[in-house]
Structure 1
Amino acid sequence: MLSTAPAFTWTRPASWPPALLALLSAGLLWLGWPVHPAPLALVLLVGWVPYLYLEAALVRRGATGWKVFRYTYLTLVLWNAFTTWWVSYSTLGGGIAAVVLNALLMCLPTMAFYHTKRLAGPRLGYVSLPIYWIAFEQLHLHWDFTWPWLTLGNGFATATEWVQWYEYTGFLGGSVWIWVVNLLVFFSIENDELRIKNEAQESAEQASTMRRKPFLIFNSQFLIATLVAILLPIVVSKIISSRYQEKGQAAEVLVIQPNFDPFQEKFEGGAKFIPYHEQLQRMFRLTEQNLTPQTKLVLWPETSLEENNWEATFEANPKALQIRSFLARHPGLELITGATTLTTYPSKETASESSRYRDDIGYYDFFNTAVFFGNAAQPVQFYHKSRLVPGVEGVPHWLSAFVIDLGGAAGGLGRQAQAGVFRTTAPDSTLRTAPVICYESVYGDYVSQYIRRGATLIGIITNDGWWSDSPGHLQHLHYATLRAIETRRAIARSANTGISAFINQKGEIIQQTGWWVPAALRGTVRLNTEMTFYVRYGELIGRGAQVLAVLLLAFVMVRALNRRFAV
């Protein structure tokens, strides 16, 4: 007896439910994102194709703009949730807000694409999509609600061997690559579906071989263009990598990972709070046990000196005096530590927007600070974190009453206007350290400012314990590899909790500690003094995309007005 089991029937993606296409696109973008294995980053090159199908199918069915927005938002909120859910380890409300609000902001470039395609036609519409998206990514690097964690170019952070050309383009070059390939793949499949549909409506004579031949040539051209767009950047990257040799003098650096639980041990009020003087002694002990006579620099992590440290009297601070005593026993050694510092302002007029006021103090500011001890006698130098975490460190003045806690001590902090570089007064020293504090390492354009100001080494100090053992601290570590490629600077990374590491100038992690263990890591880095194209000229791609986006929007608005008045 013959089987009556139903046969599997393939249906083209254009006929799939929109929610399924949204889920598929979000799932592919998540699958290709760090910290999945490096080869899976290739999935990012097709991750947007289901969404492009979704938008095209809805438009063909006559869906309203509101319906297109709903499914666009569904795609983006799922991708944000799959990839950055770990923010909720700090606070559930903060995690939800980060996902919901960032997905909403991402609708700005995607819906601008929809309206451009509707008003100016598909050809200009599809060209506008990567322009709008990259213009948005550039904006997301510079405004109050900055959250560039999902900048598409970050997606290759575990596949650095494919993006060595970031030294020319920066990470936004990776965003261009992703969009170009996704659009080429979509055009190939979409045109194939249109051919099938058209041939079904034609007679057998009209669908002759001669009539099909031009389309087959057209499709082969798309196939070749797609393969070139995928392979050429990888081949170029391999060539650059094979020819690149690390540059600069060698220096031995020691990074300390004291491993204080930020929820229980690190801060006063925690259930297992470790007194600050005991925390300091653990860092001294780890440092002393791992120093050698060749060590030139020690890095302690973010907020290692957590008590309120007034900058005006910092030199007399007992903790500062202990550090000076330690350095006096080790001539030629430099030390960078994270700290919470405060400074006062003489009047309201001179105070910053982030300043606070108390009757007994006046106007004052809190800072997330890196403090530099060049030697036992040189005056300390301060660098105040500039790129602040939105909702916890960086709170716009008008929004300070509605703070979203994403981890840490909520409230607006002061910030420094520009990058700073730590250097000793020794004239023959080539060790000039960029003090990059935590979240700042996600900003390629900002990190390049340190290099333009003379930094020969990137020193990252951070505290990644807020997000437990999740993809969050791993993504943060791997994003730093892209900064090494963009600037061709070695990186020494000191994490309170998280993973401390050394990264070479090719973006390769050459040493790293374990997760959630007290540790010290000693490594030799090269102090490059040359500037890459990206460092020298900055975000040309991002700024160019913003100019083009403004011109496109102006054109579309004029087109819309002409249509309206023509009617």
Structure 2
Amino acid sequence: MRKNILLAVFSGLLLWIAWPPTPYTTFLLFAGLVPMLMAIENVINSNSAKKGRLVFATTFIGFFVWNSLCIYWVYNSLKTIGPVVAIPITLVPYSLGPLLMAGACWLYYRIRLVAPRGLSLIALVCFWIGYEYLHQSWDLNFPWMTLGNGFAVSHKWIQWYEYTGVYGGTIWIWAVNIILFLIYAGLHEAQNKTLRLKLVSSFVLVLLAPLSFSLYRYYTYQEQAAPSNVVVVQPNIDPYTKFNVPAYEEVSTLTHLSDSLGKPNTEFFIWPETAIAEDVNEDSFFSTPQYNQVKQFLSKFKNGNIITGISTYKLYNDAHTLTAKPMGQSNQFYDVFNTAVNIENSSKLQFYHKSKLVPGAELMPFGSALSFLKPVFEHLGGSTGGYGSQAEADVFYSQSGIGAAPVICYETIWGNWVAQSVRKGAQFIAIITNDGWWENTSGKDQHLDYAKLRAIENRRWVCRSANTGISGFINQRGDVVQQSGWWVRTALKQDINLNSDLTFYTRHGDYLPYAGCILAVLGILWVIVGLMRKVS
């Protein structure tokens, strides 16, 4: 048992060392799961009467090490409430992913009882993809540790994400690890030379073919010239005090930074998430001082647009949304939104409501079932009753017809969600975020790195405005062309190339996890039938 736990922990450490933002160690992803597979195999071949429990416990420990070391920064957003409360709450994101990962491994063990190892390993990949898709789809969503995200710092290796998205990376990692595991297992089994040669050949092919294609694609890819001048602003306002700063002062800072770089041909100024932090009624935004400040600034730029984050609410005469809350003693209801708005040199306003909400801070998971945690979530800076959202991704269109995909913070890690905006006509991606909650940790760097994946999947420039994180520009190959420093008040400008072509992934979205989930369900049914037969 001790040996297997050490193998699992070693696996977790390898995956952590390979994970962004650590450079030059990404290659360890191709071997990081081998010790875990060895540990599972040892349990399966043991004489224990509780093999299933041992597989689950062993793999959970290894994946917990990997997850907690990679996302240790989650604690930083909670520590203001004190360690007594913060530590147990932090254990939820640290543990939930590993529980699902261990569940996939337990299903693999159950399949091994009734199927050959090769078929069972294919089933393992399907179970894993099923877990990843579940973890981006339910109320406790947190797809930060999706395996395919691990290549974010080595984006030259995965230019083919324009065909597969990050799930192609997940499959690639598992395929290489499984072949290495089979080669290792063959050294201790009566494996004939022909099979061993086939496995070694498969390893070389599976590793090098995608890598070679990607490098070729990277160095031959040419952007079509369709320039647009964009300015991103990083006001660097402390996220823990920004809601106490008068909105007038915030907007003055933002317009000053924008004006320092704006040119007559600048078409977009991008400000960060909740840059206008004062709650605004969307229906009366036209009459607010902040709106008039912005319009006065935009008067200098004929084709100028400002995409900014803003806290908004809407009033209703009835509770016609699941998140609507009663407004005092009146008969009205209201929804609060984490919003992006596009303001231009006309009376037109375009609003987008953040839809991929952070569990706890912005979304009460499973409705009233966890309502007792509201006092804790108040310290996360969110709406404890739950933010409102919208059902579909959106596009902001300028007067000149340029389409921008508004992406707010956490939404950066949903490839298919961003692709929806691109399918609707977005020619570049505008990410607005506030990463200061995590302070100067690797969380802010990972968040920037993950944006590279969205650029490659859709072949779109990413323009990123972060309040206290890292702002910058990423081209269609995933290169960070410009970036700001951490905790620096600044603005950056860049001529980006717009793109209207759709990649295969943009058109078809998450087709790989859909197929993987179908196969995973069939595998689970197989396991259930096997258990029922065992009982009978």
Specify whether residues 101 and 140 from structure 1 end up closer, same or farther in structure 2 by C-alpha distance, changes over 3 A only: closer
Among 11, 31, 34, the residue aligned to 2:20:
34
- From 410, 435, 445, the equivalent of 1:474 is 445
How do 1:317-336 residues align onto structure 2 when only pairs under 5 Å count?
317-336=288-307
- Give the paired residue count: 521
Structure 1 alignment gaps of length 5 or more = 1-14, 196-213, 269-273
Q: 1:141 and 2:110 equivalent? A: no
Comparing 292-301 and 551-560, the one that deviates more: 551-560
Instruction: Choose which of 340, 344, 360 in structure 2 pairs with 1:374.
Output: 344
Assess, with a 3 A threshold, how the Cα gap between structure 1 residues 316 and 109 changes in structure 2: closer, same or farther: same
Q: Give 1:122 shift.
A: 2.4
Counterpart pick for 2:334 among 338, 360, 364: 364
Rounded to whole Å, the distance in 2 between the matches of 1:561 and 1:407 is 45
Please, which of 67, 74, 85 is the counterpart of residue 87 of structure 1?
74
Contact 1:153 1:175 in 2 (8 A): yes
Does the CA contact (< 8 Å) of 1:302 and 1:338 recur in 2?
A: yes
Structure 1 residue matching 2:242: 3-state secondary structure: coil
**Cα displacement (A) at 1:52:** 0.4
Distance 1:454 1:552, change over 3 A: same
Q: Which residue of structure 2 aligns with residue 417 of structure 1?
A: 391
**Contact 2:462–2:473 (Cα < 8 Å) also in 1:** yes
AA in 1 matched with 2:243: F
TM-superposed deviation, 1:367 = 0.2
Within a 5 Å distance, the mapping from 1:383-422 to structure 2 comes to 383-396=352-365, 397-398=367-368, 399-403=370-374, 405=377, 407-411=380-384, 412-422=386-396
State whether residues 160 and 507 of structure 1, in contact with CA within 8 Å, keep that contact through their aligned partners in structure 2: yes
Quote the residue 1:271 is aligned against. none
Moved more, 75-84 or 550-559: 550-559
Q: Give 1:381 shift.
A: 1.1
Do the aligned partners of residues 248 and 435 (structure 1) sit closer, same or farther apart at CA in structure 2, a change above 3 Å counting? farther
Q: Deviations over 1:434-468 (max 9, x none)?
A: 11000001000110000011100100000000111
Partner SS, residue 511 of structure 1: strand
1:267 partner SS? helix
The alpha-carbon deviation at position 96 of structure 1 amounts to 2.4
Please give the per-residue CA displacement for 1:406-435, whole angstroms capped at 9, x wherever unaligned. 8422521000110111113x3xx3421111
The Cα offsets for residues 110-167 of structure 1, whole Å up to 9 and x where unpaired, read as 2211211123342322121111001111122211111000000000000010000000
In structure 1, what is the Cα distance between the partners aligned to 2:487 and 2:373? 33
For residue 408 of structure 1, what is the amino acid of its counterpart? Answer: G
How high is the sequence identity, in percent, across the aligned residues?
A: 38
Provide the C-alpha distance between the structure 1 equivalents of 2:39 and 2:458, rounded to a whole number of angstroms.
39
Alignment root-mean-square deviation, CA:
1.7
Q: Is the 8 A contact 1:134 1:172 kept in 2?
A: yes
User: Does residue 67 of the first structure (1) align with residue 54 of the second (2)?
Assistant: yes
Shift of 1:312: 1.4
1:531 counterpart = 2:507: no
8 A Cα contact 2:475 2:481, kept in partner: yes
Q: 3-state SS of the aligned residue for 1:262?
A: coil
Superposed counterparts of 1:10-29, under 5 Å: 17-29=3-15
Instruction: Name the aligned partner's letter for residue 440 of structure 1.
Output: E
Instruction: Identify which range, 395-404 or 291-300, moves more after superposition.
Output: 395-404
Question: How far 1:172 moved relative to its partner?
Answer: 0.4
Matching of residue 340 in structure 1 with residue 308 in structure 2? no
**Structure with bigger gyration radius:** 1
Contact 1:168 1:486 in 2 (8 A): yes
Aligned to 1:554: 525
Preserved contact between residue 270 and residue 465 of structure 2 (Cα < 8 Å):
yes
Read off the aligned partner of 1:374 and give its amino acid letter.
Answer: E
Partner of 2:412: 441
Match of 2:243, SS state, is coil
Q: TM-score, normalised by structure 2?
A: 0.94
Q: 1:356 to 1:458 in 2, by over 3 A?
A: farther
Q: Which residue of 1 aligns with 2:165?
A: 170
Comparing 83-92 with 148-157, which one deviates more in the overlay?
A: 83-92
1:109 offset after TM fit, Å?
A: 1.5
Out of 29, 40, 49, which is 1:55 matched to? 40
Pair 1:45 & 2:21 matched: no
TM-score, length of structure 1 as denominator length = 0.89
Residue of structure 2 equivalent to 1:109: 104
Q: Name the structure 2 match of 1:238.
A: 215
Equivalence map 1:292-311=2 (5 Å): 292-311=263-282
1:157 is paired with a residue whose SS is helix
Which letter maps to 1:137?
Answer: E
SS in 2 for 1:55: helix
Q: Supply the distance in 2 between the matched residues of 1:470 and 1:464 (Cα, whole angstroms).
A: 10
Selected match of 1:124 from 109, 119, 127: 119
Q: Does 1:188 align with 2:161?
A: no
User: Within 5 A, what are the aligned runs for 1:442-521?
Assistant: 442-521=413-492
Q: Work out whether residues 300 and 336 of structure 1, in 8 Å CA contact, stay in contact via their aligned partners in 2.
A: yes
The answer for the alignment partner of 1:209 in structure 2 is none
Q: What is the distance in 1 between the residues matched to 2:387 and 2:225?
A: 36
Q: Give secondary structure in 2 for the equivalent of 1:517.
A: coil
Checking the alignment, whether the CA contact within 8 Å between 1:258 and 1:518 is kept in structure 2 is yes
CA contact (8 A) 1:297 1:335 kept: yes
